[in-house]
Amino acid sequence: MTTVTEIQTTQVYQVFIKATPEQIWEGITNPEFTKKYFYGSSIESSFEVGAPYLSLAGDRSQTLVDGEVLEADPPNRLQVTWRALYDPETAAEPHSRVTWEIEPQDGGFTRVTVVHDQLEESLKTAESVSGGWSYVLSGLKTLLETGKPLAG
């Protein structure tokens, strides 16, 4: 039995948020929202298939993530390619893929699932994002449920 942790090339993150699918969609596509929970970054895209998907630093001086929209079905599903440019090692790797699944549940809740996959050739990226998605989804939940960004 091994105790060495393998780098996970398919990662799944899920959270239940008391908000509508439309609010979730707004939360992940509107830069005014993403700035408040996504490491201060602005998401820039027209969200049309084939359009660029960019994440810009707060002062817009730097592109943190670049990719392309593969699928956009508001407010249910968004799939983009993903290359992290904030680190020279991850920037040198090929694009991976991020899928957002947004599904309404009972009681006014919506289930949000992020699947980050196609990381087989992008192991530095896999390592780098593995803590980040929990922080981002937790921040999205706090923002949409309380109207406030996470403290700190």
Partner 1 sequence: MDDDRVFKALADPTRRLLLDRLFERDGRTLTELESELEMTRFGVMKHLRLLEDAGLVVTRKAGRAKLHYLNPVPIRQIYERWIDKYTEHRVSALAELKTQLEAG
**Nearest distance from residue 49's CB to partner 1, in Å?**
24
The answer to whether residue 123 forms part of the interface with partner 1 (CB under 8 A) is no
- Using DSSP's 3-state secondary structure scheme, residue 126 falls into helix
* Phi, psi for 113 (deg, rounded to 5): -120, 130
The answer to whether residue 63 forms part of the interface with partner 1 (CB under 8 A) is no
The answer to whether residue 128 forms part of the interface with partner 1 (CB under 8 A) is no
User: What pairs with residue 69 in β-bridges?
Assistant: 80
Q: Strand order in 96-104's β-sheet?
A: 11-17, 110-117, 96-104, 77-84, 63-73, 52-56, 42-44
| Cα–Cα distance measured from residue 74 to residue 148, given in angstroms and rounded to the nearest whole number | 24
Choose among 106, 116, 104, 109: nearest CA to 13. 116
The answer to whether residue 107 forms part of the interface with partner 1 (CB under 8 A) is no
Applying CB under 8 A, among 23, 63, 76, 113 the residue interacting with partner 1 is: 113
Identify which range of 26-34, 38-46, 83-91, 137-145 contacts partner 1 by CB under 8 A: 137-145
| Cα–Cα distance measured from residue 85 to residue 110, given in angstroms and rounded to the nearest whole number | 31
The answer to whether residue 135 forms part of the interface with partner 1 (CB under 8 A) is yes
The answer to whether residue 137 forms part of the interface with partner 1 (CB under 8 A) is yes
11-50 mask for partner 1 (x: CB under 8 A)?
A: xxxxxx----------------------------------
The answer to whether residue 71 forms part of the interface with partner 1 (CB under 8 A) is no
